[in-house]
Amino acid sequence: MRIGNIFALFGFSEENEEDKITRKKIEDFKETPFFKIGMFTKMILNGTNFKKQIVGFFSKSDKDLDVLGIGEAGDFMMFNRAWYWISECNTKRKDWKEALQNSANSDFLVCLKLSIKYFENIEEFEKCAFLIKIQKFIEKEILKVSLKET
């Protein structure tokens, strides 16, 4: 049995050169600011909805269960994983500036604000300051674009 053939079942084969090139492109894309900002936003938007569903499910299935603890654990995992994706942001680098300008939308701002509030509540103020810097950059870019359009 060849290991490469097993992995081929999931879309990539070790023997296929085209699949190797595709895999490399995907790996390279995962290192871009566009991908990281997207993952940050996706983690928080989807995580918030998922947490609500889980807490709702467990509160209905067991009335004595501490769903507050489940919610807190969910928040911890969600915000810290989202932090992983945005923590490399550098508003002075061209690639990050472009990605932030293209991501300057209400969903991204909501995710930033939710993250700031979460880290503020658990007193991780260095993370708050970092996220506020990104938020101010985005708001400045949105304002700049809005003023140009009017």
Cα–Cα distance between 100 and 91 in angstroms, integer? 8
* 46 and 72 part of one domain: yes
Same domain, 3 and 62: no
Residues 14 and 45 in one domain: no
Residue 95 pLDDT > 80: yes
Planar angle of CA 70, 118, 121, nearest 5 degrees: 100
Q: At what angle do helices 94-102 and 125-149 cross, to 10 degrees?
A: 70
Give residue 97's domain range. Answer: 32-149
Residues 70 and 16 in one domain: no
* 35-62 pLDDT, tens digit each: 999 999 999 999 888 878 877 777 777 7
pTM assigned to the model: 0.77
Are 69 and 142 in the same domain? Answer: yes
Residues 135 and 117 in one domain: yes
Mean pLDDT, residues 79-89: 96
* pLDDT band, very low/low/confident/very high, at 148 (cuts 50, 70, 90): low
Give the chain's domain count: 2
List pLDDT tens digits, range 118-139: 999 999 999 999 999 999 998 8
Closest CA to 79 of 43, 51, 53: 43
Q: Are residues 39 and 73 in the same domain?
A: yes
pLDDT greater than 60 at residue 149: no
Q: Are residues 125 and 60 in the same domain?
A: yes
Residue 134 and residue 98 share a domain = yes
The angle subtended at Cα 44 by Cα 43 and Cα 48, nearest 5°, is 115
Same domain, 81 and 117: yes
19 & 40 share domain: no
